[in-house]
Amino acid sequence: MTGNARYDILFEPVRIGPKMARNRFYQVPHCNGMGYRDPTALAHMRGVKAEGGWAVVCTEQVEFHHSSDITPFIELRLWDDRDIPALARMVDKIHEHGSLAGIELAYNGMNGPNLYSREVPMGPAHLPVATFTYEPVQARRMDLQDIRNIRKWHLAAVHRARRAGFDLIYVYAAHALGFLHHFLSRRYNERTDEYGGSLENRIRLLREITQETKDAVGHDCAIPLRISVDELLGEGGLYQAEVEDMIGLMADVPDLWDVTLAGWENDSRTSRFAEEGAQEPFISGIKRLTSKPVVGVGRYTSPDRMVSLVKKGVMDLIGAARPSIADPFLPNKIRDGRLEDIRECIGCNICVSGDFTQSPIRCTQNPTMGEEWRKGWHPERVRPRGSDKSVLVVGAGPAGLEAAHALGKRGYAVTLAEAGTQLGGRVLAEAKLPGLAAWSRVADYRRLQLQKLANVEIFFMSRLDAPSVLEFGFPRVVLATGARWRRDGVGHLHTRPIPIAPGAILISPSEIMEGQLPTGKTVLVWDDDHYYMGGVIAELLAEKNYDVVYLTPASEASTWTRNTMEQHFIQKRMLEKGITIHGFKTVESVAPGEVLSACVFTGRKTRIAADAVVLVTARLPNEELALALQACREDWADAGIEDVTSIGDALAPATIAHATYAGRRYAELLDNPPLPEGVIPFRREIAGLLPLREGNPT
Ligand code: ADP
Ligand code: SF4
């Protein structure tokens, strides 16, 4: 059946209630920052997953009633019939490729402040709404009429979901993200009526809703139940033994058990904090409690691991969100025996940041993610080349590698020149930092792909200068020469260099990654970058037995990593490694043996002793070559050069995801006819206007 019989088991069909999944690959619900704002972009993104072989493709959470919205997050809505067409479009895209479409109906309850609908949030108890932002809003305790209403609303949404064409209609009780989870957990449920107290009581609403859903549509829709196996809070919250008892009580009521771990931040931990399959100990006991199929996640990208999960009876379906984002064609590649073509997720959670920043999903490994309809990009296919003009790519970091790869696939003759001896640029250096080893996959995937392209030539130890570029005389030149960390303190706070006295010992992150270490015992790390680098450098130095003092003008370490759901884990690890963390502090100047710091509020100055200082603030593009080529522009024509373009960090330093995107963008656009003036280079949807008097004003 497959290119390798060992993997045949992954391609066995699995019955889920009245439906049949064509194989064991199951894209579990995942958010994406597109939701109701970008329905067609979302429909195409899901459609590409189906095309790539995922037998089941699910939505993100779908709000099923206006009295609970999750604003500012942009998810899907199924509030009334008007929401059906957007969802039906997604279903159609999924069905086009023979996959099953699943919908995750959600009512956030005390997890959503209702900033859009302005309804009063409801939950099992009077409690502050549990958001990431400490919203000053409380949820009210639901009474029995509220419970009857919510059952009615759920049922109405179930019927709408069926009309939209969904094959699987979820009952969602996981991730602490909805009322059903809140009713289950003693942490939130302090009720004394028949919906609180004992396990039987706390599970009552879940059981009622699951049964009602089955009775209503179970004859032709499958009803998965999604549950958290442990809240990791001990007996104060849901814990494994209790949840297993719950599952025992409802063993065969749903058609499928979708098991998750605690809150989303635990279920989707970055590779820095969790290995592939970290959830397995929590999932492995579930199958013996039910005769129904079980699906779970674990950032699984290894087919051997998947086979073992099925054979060991841990799960029947291999659930994935991130592996399906990084490689929508992962199932087909396994089926066809093309394992070396798998674009493995690196576990960075940049995809998650799309949801947290309400912007369309992006992926470090898969630069086409979210752009399937917006820009017409496809993770596996590119258009044939638009001319015979060859391309020189300078620099083999993520930007240069992706450009060379996509240009090579388009059929251009490409020469890739790299100053060093390996492919990968910054990811090679960063993958050596504590916890970031998986990042080397960005280079691994592209190295293997480039090996297959006879039209891409790679030259190592080739640091190019302007005369050599002119001498080569390629019509197109792409500069992907990367960036270096600054040493002058310029960052978000200081936009001008700070005073650094002679004799002060300063070392930059670039130098540390090149293998240098500071002299002395106490090192101060000043983090005005706020993503992972400051925290990870502090961690590295602590591991090397320095006394590390970490200063940030923000309230917490690596504050932007809230968007990748890592901040809490990072700060915990830093504290456990003995790093002293000072929030709300600046570095004003550096002198031998000390820095002058100031409070961000009062400006009050303090001196902090430090033998050496690492300034993690900002980077500067390696633009010497670009500037030198600009300076000899008049020589280009004679040399046969038509165009020189800087991309990635060489243009403006940003994330690795920005770099792979930049490489892809260059390759996608090459030889495209220019867009007419004023035309936006991507598709977008605009809300349809209602006639002024239509609608339901109260
Ligand atoms: P990006 O993230 O934009 O891809 P990186 O910093 O990861 O940037 O990669 C830049 C790569 O370019 C590095 O591998 C570096 O060795 C290489 N490089 C920089 N300048 C030159 C040059 N003048 N000639 C060839 N290679 C270069
Ligand atoms: Fe994996 Fe990172 Fe892509 Fe998310 S953004 S799917 S974590 S590689």
- The answer, yes or no, to whether residue 489 has pLDDT greater than 70, is yes
Mean pLDDT throughout 307-320?
A: 98
- Judge whether 527 and 614 are in contact, CB under 8 Å: no
At 263-311, the pLDDT tens digits run: 888 889 999 999 999 989 989 989 999 999 999 999 999 999 999 999 9
What pLDDT score was predicted for residue 693?
A: 79
> Which ligand sits nearest to residue 441's alpha carbon?
2
CATH number given to 485-620: 3.50.50.60
Report, as an integer, the average pLDDT of 359-380: 98
Q: What percent of the chain has pLDDT over 70?
A: 100
For the chain, the first-to-last Cα distance in angstroms comes to: 60
The pLDDT assigned to 133 comes to 83
- Predicted confidence (pLDDT) at residue 623 exceeds the cutoff of 80: yes
Span 91-112, pLDDT tens digits: 999 999 999 999 999 999 999 9
Residue nearest to atom 9 of ligand 1 (CA): 397
Residue 438: φ, ψ to 5°:
-65, -15
Alpha carbons 393 and 476: distance in angstroms, whole number: 8
Mean pLDDT of 614-624: 98
Residue 69 buriedness (CB in 10 A; 0-12 / 13-18 / 19+)? buried
Report how far ligand 2's centroid is from the alpha carbon of 324 (Å): 9
Assess whether the C-beta atom of 504 lies below 6 angstroms from ligand 1: no
Among the bound ligands, the one closest to the CA of 653: 1
Per-residue confidence (pLDDT) for residue 443, from 0 to 100: 98
- If you measure from the C-alpha of residue 627 to the centroid of ligand 1, how many angstroms do you get, rounded to a whole number? 15
How high is the mean pLDDT of the chain? 96
What's the alpha-carbon Rg for the chain, to the nearest Å? 27
Long-range contact set of residues 345-348: C-beta below 8 Å, sequence gap at least 24:
345/299, 345/301, 345/441, 346/271, 346/438, 346/439, 346/441, 346/442, 347/269, 347/270, 347/271, 347/272, 347/274, 347/299, 347/322, 347/438, 348/270, 348/271, 348/439, 348/564, 348/656, 348/657
Tell the CATH superfamily of the 5-356 domain: Aldolase class I (3.20.20.70)
Could you report the per-residue pLDDT of 490-529, keeping only the tens digit for each? Answer: 999 999 999 999 999 999 999 999 999 999 999 999 999 9
Residue 1: pLDDT band (50, 70, 90) is low
Q: Which of 469, 481, 622, when mutated, tests ligand 1's pocket best, judged by the most ligand atoms within 8 Å of its CB?
A: 481
CB 271 within 8 A of CB 347: yes
pLDDT at 266: 85
DSSP labels, 661-681: HHHHHHHHHTTPPPPPTT--S
Kindly give the distance from the C-alpha atom of residue 425 to the centroid of ligand 1, in angstroms, as a whole number. 6
How far is 256 from 315, CA to CA, in rounded Å? 11
Centre of ligand 1 to C-alpha 462, Å, is: 11
Taking the alpha carbons of 261, 262, 268, 273 in that order, is the dihedral positive or negative?
negative
Residue-wise pLDDT tens digits, 569-617: 999 999 999 999 999 999 999 999 999 999 999 999 999 999 999 999 9
pLDDT tens for residues 6-59? Answer: 999 999 999 999 999 999 999 999 999 999 999 999 999 999 999 999 999 999
Lowest mean pLDDT of 137-146, 408-417, 681-690, name the range: 681-690
Specify the pLDDT at position 177.
86
Q: Average pLDDT for residues 627-646, to the nearest whole number?
A: 98
Q: List residues near ligand 2 (CB under 6 A).
A: 322, 325-326, 345-351, 363-365
Of 32, 272, 346, best ligand 2 pocket probe by most atoms within 8 Å of the beta carbon:
346
Q: Give the pLDDT score at 62.
A: 98
Pocket test for ligand 2, best of 32, 272, 345, 656 (most atoms within 8 A of CB): 345
Q: How many residues does the chain have?
A: 698
pLDDT of residue 57: 98
Q: Is a pLDDT exceeding 80 seen at residue 2?
A: no
- Longest C-alpha distance within the chain, in Å? 86
Check if 195 is active-site. no
Q: What percent of the chain has pLDDT over 90?
A: 92
- Interval 384-400 mean pLDDT: 98
pLDDT at 386 over 70: yes
CA of 320 to the centre of ligand 2 (A): 12
Q: What angle do CA 359, 365, 366 make, to 5 degrees?
A: 65
What is the C-alpha to C-alpha distance for residues 374 and 39, in angstroms, rounded to an integer? 11
Query: With 80 as the cut, is the pLDDT of residue 545 above it?
Result: yes
Q: Kindly indicate the confidence band of residue 696, based on its pLDDT and cuts at 50, 70 and 90.
A: confident
Q: Across 517-561, where does the E strand assignment appear?
A: 522-527, 547-551
Parallel, antiparallel, or unpaired: how do β-strands 547-551 and 580-582 relate? parallel
pLDDT 10s digits, 209-256: 999 999 999 999 999 999 998 888 888 888 899 999 999 999 999 999
| 391-482+622-669 CATH, one of 3.40.50.720, 3.40.1800.10, 3.40.630.30, 3.30.1490.20 | 3.40.50.720
Active site residue 267: yes
Q: How far is CA 429 from the centre of its chain?
A: 22
Q: Find the catalytic residue in 30, 31, 221, 532.
A: 31
Q: What pLDDT shows up at residue 236?
A: 84
Question: What does the domain layout of the chain look like in residue ranges?
Answer: 5-356, 391-482+622-669, 485-620
Q: How far is the CA of 684 from the centre of ligand 1 (A)?
A: 34
d(CA 490, CA 432): 26
Nearest residue by C-alpha to atom 19 in ligand 1:
481
Q: Give nearest CA residue, ligand 1 atom 8.
A: 482
- For residue 506, give both structure tokens: 């300063």
In ligand 2, the atom with minimum distance to the C-alpha of 366 is: 3
pLDDT value of residue 267 = 83
Q: Does the structure show a pLDDT above 90 at 176?
A: no
**Secondary structure class of 659 (helix, strand, coil):** helix
Looking at residue 698, what is its pLDDT?
A: 63
Q: Which ligand approaches the C-alpha of residue 564 most closely?
A: 2
Q: What is the pLDDT of residue 262?
A: 81
Pick the atom of ligand 2 nearest to 323's CA.
6
Continuous segment of H or E residues that includes residue 590: strand 585-591
- 485-620 has the same fold as 5-356: no
434-466 pLDDT, tens digit per residue, is: 999 999 999 999 999 999 999 999 999 999 999
Residue 273 Cα to ligand 2 middle (Å): 14
Give the whole-angstrom CA distance, residue 177 versus residue 179: 7
**How far is residue 30's CA from residue 390's CA, in Å, rounded to a whole number?**
40
pLDDT at 101 (0 to 100):
98
Are the C-beta atoms of residues 226 and 18 closer than 8 Å to each other?
A: no
pLDDT score recorded for residue 593: 97
